[in-house]
Structure 1
Amino acid sequence: MSEAASPARVAVIQFDPQVGTANHANNLRQTLTLATEAANGGANLIVLPELSNCGYFFTSRQDAFDHAEAVPEGASVKAWMDFASRYQVYLVAGLSEIDGTQLFNTAVLLGPDGFIGKYRKAHLWNREKLWFTPGNTGFPVFETPIGRIGLLICWDIWFPEVPRILSQQGADIICSLNNWVWTPPPLFDEAGKCMASYLTMTAAHVNNVFIAASSRIGEERDARYLGCSLIAGTNGWPIGAIASANRQEILFADIDITSARSAPIWNSLNDLQRDRRCDLYGQMLGYAQHPALPR
């Protein structure tokens, strides 16, 4: 077996952050405690859920503002940066970002040397549209020493364009931050998997990219959450178990991140990226005009 070009131990953290400004300090403390457990378990890429420091179900726009902080100047981002530096790891976390009079549902990527970048959620779910501004800066991919990292948030995975554009820009792994909520039944199949798990596996499979999906559990105000965090391989299948619907868990996977770059070559005649028929559907879907995609 050849030596891994970019070995990594990935961890996704599933826990129960609670909304309410009185819970903010404890939420942040939990993220750091669980991230420390992941780092002590050997992880060097750690993914926390969407809005992991503040909870999700705000009561009003003012409530959402009260939970927000600037990026990267805010206290949570600084604490996460200090953690990433101390443990020499890459950390992805979600928070409510304030920028002037606008709020964004944001994911940040932090590394041993500090702040790397952020992604603002493009597709807003339900009442999020009352608090947040949709992100409009595209779908960035960040070059790091362990590989190219893309970010998406929750409802984004229902739009196949998002993981496709990230993979077309060369993402080796997509970090998916989620607060998957209960919707009308059926929520789970006989194997205990939810639809979000299958969408994650499908996106990994059809784009031949690793996806590390961290979700949350618990209840807050009028919302319940699905859990079901997972780490999907480039073939789409979970690496190890899919997390439960209701327990705090940390999942680990040992992968060679940059192996995703050769994964699309399935045989001598089929390569998912080259087999795409952009001549037939590119103009209709707008992919050919995306400035980040190769011509």
Structure 2
Amino acid sequence: MSTDAPGGEAEITVSCLQFEPRIGDLAANRAAGLELIEAVAEAGARLAVLPELSDSGYVFESRAEAFALSGTAAESETIAGWAEAARRHDLHIVGGFCERDGGRLFNSAALVGPDGLIGVYRKTHLWDAENLWFEPGDHGYPVFATPLGRIGALICYDGWFPEAWRLLAMQGADIVCVPTNWVPMPSQPASLPSMSNILCMAAAHSNSFCVAAACRIGTERGQPFIGQSLIVNHEGWPVAGPAPEERPEVLTARVNLADARRKRRLNDFNQLLRDRRTDLYDEMLGTDLTPGWY
């Protein structure tokens, strides 16, 4: 693993880039994302996270529009731009893009490093009208080994499913990056953190990994988004954010990814993943995924 500071085993600087993509404006969205990436990289970030569908915008009017704003992972100009920035700055980037694969579309997140595209996660739980444009993800829950640590990804509504978080933990994820476009929940009490933030905090705590969630802001074709990006440590406590609801914000925090493993024990008797009752439920929740070292 990388050491980013004297005495800081696997300690890295993580940034979440909260901004407002514009539906259909690929060039401007790419430029806005790259401008933020350049700024955080020059400030020392080693891992940057952008919102869901950060290149295309979110509220499509038709499948034809979504298809026109998509690209394959191998040929995406968005990913090519991220890869160039990652190469120049020795940076890793996770960002949402509209992925085309033959005649299918996916709401996807790419992980890019200094050597180019590392892998793609496809959103597995589609929200509302996404079901009209996208196919449910078919890549499972990959965890990518990088010089920084083991990186997993979820997208927005995926975070409502504890199984998704747990399968990433069981494959050894040290940090889960969440490109997201959270929307208001009508029943949300104003006095409490947003449900999306609570779910990120709970998942980080119960699985002992860090979470970096980057949300968009603004209103697109009548749909408002809530911002409130945040970075959570392995104990479940925010170390940056939540960001404001209505303005762009760059969140930056230092997290020690080794703590996700070294400090998983809660006391002399309890360790979160070891204490699972696998005599009562399947270790990998009935999937054919292979557990990693945890």
**Residue of structure 2 in register with 1:5 after alignment:** 9
- Letter paired with 2:71: E
Measured in 2, the distance between the counterparts of 1:248 and 1:120 equals 26
**Residue of structure 1 in register with 2:86 after alignment:** 84
- Letter paired with 2:237: W
Contact 2:265 2:271 in 1 (8 A): yes
Measured in 1, the distance between the counterparts of 2:125 and 2:263 equals 28
- Letter paired with 1:197: N
Measured in 1, the distance between the counterparts of 2:292 and 2:89 equals 36
Q: 1:294 deviation in Å?
A: 6.2
For residues 233-281 of structure 1, give each alpha carbon's deviation from its aligned partner in whole angstroms, at most 9, with x where no partner exists.
Answer: 1110100331011110000111111221123212221001110012112
SS of residue paired to 2:154:
strand
- Letter paired with 1:78: A
**Residue of structure 2 in register with 1:109 after alignment:** 111
**Residue of structure 2 in register with 1:274 after alignment:** 274
**Residue of structure 1 in register with 2:3 after alignment:** none
For residues 177-231 of structure 1, give each alpha carbon's deviation from its aligned partner in whole angstroms, at most 9, with x where no partner exists.
Answer: 1000123243x5325x311001110110111110001001001102100101000
1:172 is aligned, of 160, 174, 189, to 174
**Residue of structure 1 in register with 2:76 after alignment:** 74
Q: 1:3 deviation in Å?
A: 2.1
Contact 1:278 1:288 in 2 (8 A): no
1:189 corresponds to 2:214: no
Measured in 2, the distance between the counterparts of 1:68 and 1:240 equals 32
**Residue of structure 2 in register with 1:15 after alignment:** 19
Measured in 1, the distance between the counterparts of 2:170 and 2:244 equals 32
TM-score (norm. length: structure 1): 0.94
Contact 2:172 2:292 in 1 (8 A): no
Bigger fraction of residues in helix? 1
Runs (5+) with no aligned partner, structure 1: none
SS of residue paired to 2:281:
helix
**Residue of structure 2 in register with 1:161 after alignment:** 163
Measured in 1, the distance between the counterparts of 2:212 and 2:264 equals 18
SS of residue paired to 2:55:
coil
TM-score (norm. length: structure 2): 0.94
Contact 1:182 1:223 in 2 (8 A): no
- Letter paired with 1:270: N
Report 1:1-295 matches (<5 A). Answer: 3-20=7-24, 23-186=25-188, 188-190=189-191, 193-282=193-282, 287-293=285-291
Contact 2:67 2:100 in 1 (8 A): yes
Contact 2:172 2:291 in 1 (8 A): no
- Letter paired with 1:122: T
